[in-house]
Structure 1
């Protein structure tokens, strides 16, 4: 998504050229290119698929909405397995229309996980609950902290359900470092993503993730914090940014690789 202006073949070619070992894919461009073709494209380039984004949106209050969400998430799990990744990122969903009941919405996420976790486990896929910044709680994700995500994951084996540590969403939370340690100690860190927090936020907010090194987040400290738990997995950079998307995609990819080297390590 960081360079969504690049078609999949160009993305894969330039990642391989730059020594980037893995790519996190999104379902929409994979579907447009073809699931099996995308899997072969990445595999033939010698890259791994670090994660698939996204499943989730599990907070519907009506039977039809819940049934539709479960079916879509089962399809996403199957797609992740076909791509060869063991991680499906879940953005849990916001409040249903007309509702103000956060507790009930979070409870429905747990009920959905009870159905989806065994299905994912049978296919070698882990569900990674991503907490989003509280400004997204009403419309996109009622899970706002790592502590909340870990509470939802706790009833299930770590091999089936864990969490995403995304710097953009959790950097502000003074409880997050302890939650990272707890997640690492229980093998619940399933994805680690980087994006910077820059202000002023753009209109619409969603596409405000800054290039690493441009904002308030201490990327090196977060990398050290996560690695201190024993994490040895891939570190993704996921930027939603209209300014970056308006630029040449190869230029942005090369800049991101340089920033990763200078700001994270």
Structure 2
């Protein structure tokens, strides 16, 4: 066994690759799973993408992304729900293990974080059963607090679990992303809690480097490049009972400027060294 059986490559780590290049490159490297993004999948064609991935013997560890469900006005809420229903259908067509949800930020002029989270919960009450009907599990992803105002009002694993636990575990789980959660001193006990409830739906890997080279959104570090104890996270999610993919999701213009196969080979080597 190489230790790479559970490794998955997120599409945005090698954003310079087309979808066929991603699938061919992963298959050639012995990678068995990919994390996909809706925009390039829709551009290629959802059914065509599903055939391409299956034909190469790959599985889809996650589809990014749904969410942005915090609008305060009725038309905005309905648009968001419709977009998420479409995302559920796309995830089902791809056979994705999870549909990743980014909550959404505060509406313009709002300071009401609890209210925004409640609107997310209201949306999950509608989307959870809808997703379950398609065999899709929703996965709430907490993002670093720097994103709380404009992108994600869910900042900690505990907040994500508080929301997820209102719904059946088969409908709503959480994403454990090392880039977003490494700083939280409660994450260890919250991983235990997540495991006890069977809530870990996806596990994503990236490192935190300072100074952030491209800002907080595009400043993720290659595995082992920064200050995150990636092996600690891998051991804890496994101890919590998670047996799914470990997905390298690294947003980095410096990686996108390089040849994709070189980036994949480096990521695999760093995964062996710093995660396993």
- 2:9 aligns with none
1:102 maps to 2:121: no
Q: Please list, as runs of the form range in 1=range in 2, the aligned pairs for 1:237-252 lying within 5 A after superposition.
A: 237-252=248-263
Moved over 3 A (4+): none
* Residue 241 of structure 1: how far off its partner (Å): 0.8
SS of corresponding position for 1:157: coil
SS of corresponding position for 1:202: coil
- 1:92 aligns with 103
TM-score of the pair, normalised by structure 1: 0.99
* Residue 261 of structure 1: how far off its partner (Å): 1.2
Equivalent pair of 2:33/2:245 in contact (CA under 8 Å)? yes
Equivalent pair of 1:92/1:143 in contact (CA under 8 Å)? yes
- 1:136 aligns with 147
Of stretches 202-211 and 37-46 in structure 1, the one that deviates more from structure 2 is 202-211
- 2:239 aligns with 228
User: Counterparts of 1:81 and 1:113 in 2: how far apart (Å)?
Assistant: 17
* Residue 202 of structure 1: how far off its partner (Å): 2.9
User: Deviation per CA, 1:180-224, whole angstroms, max 9, x where unpaired?
Assistant: 111011110000000000000134321011000000011111101
Q: Of the candidates 236, 256, 265, which is equivalent to residue 267 of structure 2?
A: 256
Q: Please list, as runs of the form range in 1=range in 2, the aligned pairs for 1:32-181 lying within 5 A after superposition.
A: 32-181=43-192
The gaps in structure 1 that reach 5 residues or longer are none
**Structure 1 residues 151, 199: closer, same or farther in 2, change over 3 A?**
same
Query: How large is the RMSD of aligned CA atoms in angstroms?
Result: 0.8
* Residue 26 of structure 1: how far off its partner (Å): 0.2
* Residue 242 of structure 1: how far off its partner (Å): 1.2
Equivalent pair of 2:198/2:241 in contact (CA under 8 Å)? no
User: Counterparts of 2:16 and 2:43 in 1: how far apart (Å)?
Assistant: 14
- 2:35 aligns with 24
Equivalent pair of 1:86/1:124 in contact (CA under 8 Å)? no
* Residue 85 of structure 1: how far off its partner (Å): 1.3
User: Counterparts of 2:129 and 2:242 in 1: how far apart (Å)?
Assistant: 24
- 2:21 aligns with 10
Of stretches 64-73 and 251-260 in structure 1, the one that deviates more from structure 2 is 251-260
Q: How many residues align?
A: 265
TM-score of the pair, normalised by structure 2: 0.95
Of stretches 240-249 and 39-48 in structure 1, the one that deviates more from structure 2 is 240-249
SS of corresponding position for 1:193: strand
User: Counterparts of 1:80 and 1:233 in 2: how far apart (Å)?
Assistant: 16
The gaps in structure 2 that reach 5 residues or longer are 1-11
